[in-house]
């Protein structure tokens, strides 16, 4: 199993508000940002630090610093954009790439319509962000595309995951760690996560 679930009272509390149908757009966005920041802290727990010398007001000292240029954030459009600020709170100098996918109505396979990555993406650790991991199709397609570009260090951050989506990633990309706030029960017949929180993109952008 390569998923890490943030089982924490603060996460449960924030998720309860996030899921609520009565939570408005502003609060929904803020909660997505807050939860994303917490996910990023967990995902960065194994980050490698570079030894540097700094000078405090009292003396010089040896310490570790993160080379933020080694990281890129890749939101899956459009809902993934709602998580970017939460990650940038932790890694403010990380570069940001974008991938856009839509589902073919006949084959149900994800079709790429936009792809733009920072220079040197193959040398960076990439954090893919998407609030919902449902079937796992879009996340899997994103990982495939990044690996085609030579990326070999990838983590997937999502807020709500379904067992189906986790299995899709584990079966196809066992090297990719999944960080999520919660694993929900199942998918319904139109691939919405149950009990879920509805369409994350619509709720982030207030389009419904």
The beta-carbon contacts of 10-19 under 8 Å, at least 24 apart in sequence, are 10/38, 11/35, 11/38, 11/181, 11/182, 12/182, 15/159, 15/160, 15/181, 15/182, 18/159, 18/197, 19/195, 19/196, 19/197
Cα(146)–Cα(152) distance, integer angstroms? 8
Residue that has been written with the tokens 């809902």 in this structure: 79
Q: What amino acid positions are annotated as catalytic residues? A: 103, 107, 199, 202
CA 70 to chain centre: 17
């Amino acid at each position: 199993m390569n998923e890490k679930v943030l089982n924490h009272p603060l996460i449960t509390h924030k998720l309860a508000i996030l899921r609520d149908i009565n939570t408005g757009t502003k609060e929904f966005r803020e909660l997505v940002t807050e939860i994303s920041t917490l996910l990023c802290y967990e995902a960065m727990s194994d980050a490698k630090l570079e030894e540097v010398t700094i000078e405090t007001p009292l003396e010089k000292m040896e310490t570790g610093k993160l080379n933020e240029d080694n990281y890129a954030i890749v939101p899956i459009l459009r809902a993934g954009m709602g998580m970017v600020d939460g990650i940038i709170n932790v890694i403010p100098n990380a570069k940001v790439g974008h991938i856009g996918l839509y589902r073919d109505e006949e084959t149900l396979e994800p079709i790429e319509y936009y792809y733009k990555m920072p220079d040197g993406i193959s040398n960076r650790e990439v954090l893919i962000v998407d609030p919902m991991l449902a079937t796992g199709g879009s996340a899997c397609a994103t990982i495939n595309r990044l690996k085609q570009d030579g990326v070999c260090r990838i983590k997937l951050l999502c807020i709500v995951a379904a067992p189906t989506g986790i299995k899709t990633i584990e079966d196809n990309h066992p090297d990719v760690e999944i960080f999520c706030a919660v694993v929900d029960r199942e998918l319904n017949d139109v691939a919405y996560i149950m009990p879920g929180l509805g369409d994350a993109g619509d709720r982030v952008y207030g389009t419904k």
